[in-house]
Amino acid sequence: MTTLTDCRALDASDSLRPLRDQFVLPEGVIYLDGNSLGVLPKSAAPRIADVITREWGQDLIRSWNSAGWFHMPQRLGNKIATLVGAGPGEVVATDSTSVNLYKVLSAALNMAAEDAPSRKTVISERSNFPTDLYIAESLCRERGYTLQLVEPDEINAALTQEVAVLMLTHVNYRTGAMHDMAALTQAAHAAGVLAVWDLAHSAGAVPVDLQGANADFAVGCGYKYLNGGPGAPAFVWVHPRHTDRFRQPLSGWWGHAAPFEFTPGYSPAPGITRYLCGTQPMLSLAALECGLDVFGAAASLGGMAALRSKSLALTDLFIALVEERCAGHGLGLATPREHTQRGSQVCLTRSLGPHAPPLRGSLPPEGAVTDLGRPGDGDSGAYAIAQALIARGVIGDFRAGDGAGHPDILRFGFTPLYIGFEDVWHAVEHLKQVLETGEWQNAEFNQKHVVT
Amino acid sequence: MTTLTDCRALDASDSLRPLRDQFVLPEGVIYLDGNSLGVLPKSAAPRIADVITREWGQDLIRSWNSAGWFHMPQRLGNKIATLVGAGPGEVVATDSTSVNLYKVLSAALNMAAEDAPSRKTVISERSNFPTDLYIAESLCRERGYTLQLVEPDEINAALTQEVAVLMLTHVNYRTGAMHDMAALTQAAHAAGVLAVWDLAHSAGAVPVDLQGANADFAVGCGYKYLNGGPGAPAFVWVHPRHTDRFRQPLSGWWGHAAPFEFTPGYSPAPGITRYLCGTQPMLSLAALECGLDVFGAAASLGGMAALRSKSLALTDLFIALVEERCAGHGLGLATPREHTQRGSQVCLTRSLGPHAPPLRGSLPPEGAVTDLGRPGDGDSGAYAIAQALIARGVIGDFRAGDGAGHPDILRFGFTPLYIGFEDVWHAVEHLKQVLETGEWQNAEFNQKHVVT
């Protein structure tokens, strides 16, 4: 059995531990939701105060030059590039993940229309992050393509001669399951299919090698593991072999070859700059840069490889402690045990038992309940358990099942930059107490709020 | 002749003068570039510090509820609505102006394709802000439409049976000339054409009545006269008669009818919320709200009508003082004298004379030079004059001519919230000295920088 003392020893020998001091961690909170919104880097408050009072307040329009505002998307993009296996000048930080996905999926469909006009299907995963599916649905409707949704184990078989693009999220937001980017990209290319990757739950959390995987297009999020602040700008990467071949449809002034010549006709800038559109929010970009600069400090401590080792140790520990300390409460593991298939989060399901009356009345289908397996859909109590944990200061989150084979999920993200092994111990201890006391059944924890 | 004493008397009797105290105005600067980047509201630094340290740093993901992050686009949109003649629930603050234009122009083309499929032309103004033209060019290419660019006096004649959409910027960024929105919208509708308006240089600067003008779609900018900070989110309005009729193509999760149910299929939210796409940058939205809240304070002092009166008084004064004090230096007026045709900026051209040798070698065409008229293209010295003024702390900006009938421009914006009449006096005095001393001919003022 693992003990609290063991966890403290792991923290004591953690060479990445100094990075924790670069963040504000609220008193009394164990924050396991960095996969939704990363915590505040200590450098952000003074940096943004300076952007506001000096760059905006005093220097005003002159800061476009003097503060480097104009090249912020590229400057931040180069910092992100080092985390995702991209080269300098290949990434820009800009817009939202959804908007960037629209750009790259448009470009991919343009390419497919030219190179393989008979291919009229886009493949994605049924439990891909919904906004990705919404964007794909829109473009498919507009361009006369079919969006075909499959389960992860059906992807390879789905790569037929009808398929133009495979669009996947590298680490699944619901389960934490991680795809083999290199293998799937290779399979896609072998089938004549372009590969578009969403790195929202990967960048800064797991090693990503876009060039090594020979991917075609990628987008990702700034406010999760990159700790860029609420709604931070996202990023976009295009393989250099494709960048100059197509325009993307959001052809705003910032992607123009000569943006200050104010010519009436659009001429795209060379390289990834053409994936910029309108003017970007500087306060939010500056905050994102503070998040990125922590990774600069992490580089001298082993970088993404060291962060990955710690992340796996944290998630291994969490799984082991839940199994040791929370047995008999119907919890199941939705995240793969295999390291190669796991992101930086652990997702639990919960089945119903006699100790846990259904909250909204529906029972799971007979035989669908297994311990540490996938329970059937139905009311799991997971929402109330997440709320009870939050009331204790253990912030994870809940994702509702979809009634189509994907169960309710309790989601716990482990950001190796700032989460420690003792945090994991206490989080599981709180989970154990929530389950053993039954406090999650209190009415207050069953009131629905907006969650993200 | 107007005197400095006269100007001071105007400031002393200006009932809007207290609003100036709500802004940070840098020492030694006369800021006539609020049409490019508005100045810093004093409330922004403490507000953003609170968003960073409390909402992000302490409350983290909980702020989606507790700090109202989720409804920020609508909350700010409602504040903007009061400035542009829109109703509550009709505007959202989100994304960039370019991205928002893509959304509404897409929706307008969808509508035209259904209602009038034979109409295959989009009309705009040749000197419209280039990013608007780039977005229109992209959509026209994608959908098989023709983008036809005309001069302002050719618009009415261009509204033929071939035309689907008239897309105009209300106040021209180069000249400060303002269109008659109601008349042009009426002419468009009479010809079966939809009217899309860009309010980038109007919102917060001149009274706008979208509902009164019966406009169809509008977008606008947050960082110019709304003082929302560098790259502040933009806004989008759709007439309620159209809002629920079409999806816009950037169908991200935030525009979904049930964004937290995470369903794989897109179902657009009712109303303007469907014009949202991805997660928005909260720090930058919060700063924009500080800018908007000054207009709340202005409402009790007469609101946009009082601001408009002051704006016209400021620009009238500037024109009069330039004519009185800077005669003989080849300056021309590119902004209409008629109040109904003038925004909140004054743009000057400059012709060459024997006192002003060409800086880059080209001379204007014979006969094209007129005092206070439109000089021909060629090297006007305007860039160097703008730089010499900036060195003296008078910040306006320069817009290059296009070699196609649109001359170099010296641009001066007058934001009535914080610019005073004495500022105008001193700005003209500096301009006079720059011209009389010839200091603008110094080599340092001819080095090109990035300008916006």
Please report the number of interchain residue pairs, chain A to chain B, with beta-carbon separation below 8 angstroms.
Answer: 285
In this structure, chain A runs to a length of 452
A393 touches chain B (CB under 8 A): no
pLDDT of residue B448: 65
Nearest chain A residue to B59 by CA distance is A26
How many structural domains does chain B have?
A: 2
Judge whether B170 and B335 are in contact, CB under 8 Å: no
Say how far apart CA B256 and CA B325 lie, in whole Å.
Answer: 58
Grouping H, G, I as helix, E, B as strand and the rest as coil, residue B348 is strand
pLDDT of residue B449: 54
Q: Do B253 and B332 fall within a single domain?
A: no
**Domain-ending residue, one of B272, B299, B326:** B299
Maximal C-alpha separation, chain B: 72
Confidence class for position B426, pLDDT limits 50, 70, 90: very high
Q: Write down the catalytic residue from A33, A132, A198, A216.
A: A198
Nearest chain A residue to B29 by CA distance is A58
Please check whether residue A62 lies inside any domain of the structure. no
B149 neighbourhood in chain A, CB within 8 Å: 264
Nearest chain A residue to B451 by CA distance is A260
Residue A129 known to be catalytic: yes
More confident call, B358 vs A351: A351
Residue A316 known to be catalytic: no
Write the pLDDT tens digit of every residue in A185-236.
999 999 999 999 999 999 999 999 999 999 999 999 999 999 999 999 999 9
pLDDT of residue B402: 72
Say which residues have a Cβ less than 8 Å from residue A197's Cβ, sequence separation at least 6: A168, A169, A170, A181, A185, A210, A215, A217, A218, A219
Mean pLDDT, rounded, for B280-298: 98
pLDDT of residue A337: 96
A39 neighbourhood in chain B, CB within 8 Å: 57, 60
Residue B411 known to be catalytic: yes
Would you call B229 and A56 a contact, using CB atoms and an 8 Å cutoff? Answer: yes
Residue B224 known to be catalytic: yes
Please check whether residue B452 lies inside any domain of the structure. no
Beta strand segments in B339-445, E = 345-350, 394-395, 397-399, 409-413
Judge whether A324 and A356 are in contact, CB under 8 Å: no
- Domain membership of residue B234 as a residue range: 68-299
Q: Do B115 and B227 fall within a single domain?
A: yes
**Domain-ending residue, one of B247, B279, B299:** B299
Best of A56, A142, A236 to disrupt the B interface by mutation (most B CBs within 10 Å)? A56
Nearest chain A residue to B248 by CA distance is A138
Residue A237's beta-bridge partner residues? A91, A218
Q: If we measure between CA atoms, which residue out of A98, A114, A404, A417 comes closest to residue A250?
A: A98
Would you call A61 and B395 a contact, using CB atoms and an 8 Å cutoff? Answer: yes
- In chain A, the percentage of residues whose pLDDT exceeds 70 is 92
More confident call, B443 vs A372: B443
Please check whether residue B47 lies inside any domain of the structure. no
Would you call A69 and B260 a contact, using CB atoms and an 8 Å cutoff? Answer: no
Please check whether residue B362 lies inside any domain of the structure. yes
Name the one residue in this structure whose structure tokens are 């976009």.
A236
B43 touches chain A (CB under 8 A): no
pLDDT of residue B377: 39
Q: Do A282 and A332 fall within a single domain?
A: no
Residue B379 known to be catalytic: no
Q: Do B163 and B283 fall within a single domain?
A: yes
Q: What sign for the dihedral angle of Cα B339, B340, B342, B343?
A: positive
pLDDT of residue A46: 98
Say how far apart CA B185 and CA A382 lie, in whole Å.
Answer: 54
Write the pLDDT tens digit of every residue in B297-354.
999 999 999 999 999 999 999 999 999 999 999 999 999 999 999 999 999 998 764 4
B40 touches chain A (CB under 8 A): yes
Best of B29, B33, B60 to disrupt the A interface by mutation (most A CBs within 10 Å)? B60
Interface of B with A in 117-156 (CB under 8 A): 126-128, 130-131, 133-135, 137-139, 142, 149
Geometric angle at alpha carbon B210, from B204 and B211, rounded to 5°: 135
Confidence class for position B264, pLDDT limits 50, 70, 90: confident
Q: What residues in chain A have per-residue pLDDT under 70?
A: 352-379, 403, 448-452
Best of B42, B124, B224, B262 to disrupt the A interface by mutation (most A CBs within 10 Å)? B262
pLDDT of residue A448: 65
Say which residues have a Cβ less than 8 Å from residue A50's Cβ, sequence separation at least 6: none
- In chain B, the percentage of residues whose pLDDT exceeds 90 is 86
**Domain-ending residue, one of B299, B323, B357:** B299
A150 neighbourhood in chain B, CB within 8 Å: none
Q: A111: alpha, beta or left, given left = phi > 0 and alpha = psi -120 to 50?
A: alpha
A347 touches chain B (CB under 8 A): no
Interface of B with A in 298-337 (CB under 8 A): none
Q: Do B263 and B375 fall within a single domain?
A: no
The pTM of this model reads: 0.94
Q: Do B290 and B315 fall within a single domain?
A: no
Three-class SS of chain A: CCCHHHHHHHHHCCCCHHHHHHEECCCCCEECCCCCCCCEECCHHHHHHHHHHHHHHHCHHHHHHHCCHHHHHHHHHHHHHHHHCCCCCCEEECCCHHHHHHHHHHHHHHHHHHHCCCCCEEEEECCCCHHHHHHHHHHHHHHCCEEEEECHHHHHHHCCCCEEEEEEECECCCCCEECCHHHHHHHHHHCCCEEEEECCCCCCCCCCCHHHHCCCEEEECCCCCCCCCCCCCCEEEECHHHHCCCCCCCCCHHHECCCCCCCCCCCECCHHHHHCCCCCCHHHHHHHHHHHHHHHHHHCCCHHHHHHHHHHHHHHHHHHHHHHHCCCCCEEECCCCCHHHECCEEEEEECCCCCCCCCCCCCCCCCCCCCCCCCCCCCCCHHHHHHHHHHCCEECEEECCCCCCCCCEEEEECCCCCCCHHHHHHHHHHHHHHHHHCHHHCHHHHCCCCCC
Which of B33, B251, B260 has its CB closest to that of A60?
B33
Q: CB under 8 Å, gap of 24 or more: what pairs does A439-445 form?
A: A439/A388, A440/A381, A440/A384, A440/A385, A440/A387, A440/A388, A441/A356, A441/A357, A441/A359, A441/A381, A441/A384, A442/A384, A442/A388, A444/A387, A444/A391, A445/A383, A445/A384, A445/A385, A445/A387, A445/A388, A445/A391
Q: Do A119 and A155 fall within a single domain?
A: yes
Please check whether residue A401 lies inside any domain of the structure. yes
Judge whether A169 and A197 are in contact, CB under 8 Å: yes
Please check whether residue A56 lies inside any domain of the structure. no
Residue A366 CB-half CA count within 13 A: 0
Please check whether residue B49 lies inside any domain of the structure. no
Q: Do B213 and B123 fall within a single domain?
A: yes
Write the pLDDT tens digit of every residue in B153-201.
999 999 999 999 999 999 999 999 999 999 999 999 999 999 999 999 9
Looking up residue B380, the CATH number of its domain turns out to be 3.90.1150.10
Please check whether residue B202 lies inside any domain of the structure. yes
Say how far apart CA A222 and CA A280 lie, in whole Å.
Answer: 14
pLDDT of residue B379: 64
B251 neighbourhood in chain A, CB within 8 Å: 134-135, 137-138
Say how far apart CA A165 and CA A216 lie, in whole Å.
Answer: 10
Q: Give, as one character, the DSSP assignment of residue B433.
A: H
Residue A124's beta-bridge partner residues? A149, A167
Q: Do B31 and B108 fall within a single domain?
A: no
Mean pLDDT, rounded, for B366-376: 31
pLDDT of residue A451: 43
Q: Write down the catalytic residue from A129, A145, A275, A318.
A: A129
- What would the DSSP string read from start to end of B171-182? B-TTT-BB--HH
Q: Do B77 and B197 fall within a single domain?
A: yes
Helix B97-115 to helix B130-143 angle (10° resolution) is 40
Q: Do A356 and A275 fall within a single domain?
A: no
Say how far apart CA A171 and CA B405 lie, in whole Å.
Answer: 55
pLDDT of residue A121: 98
Q: Do B295 and B365 fall within a single domain?
A: no
Looking up residue B128, the CATH number of its domain turns out to be 3.40.640.10
pLDDT of residue A356: 40
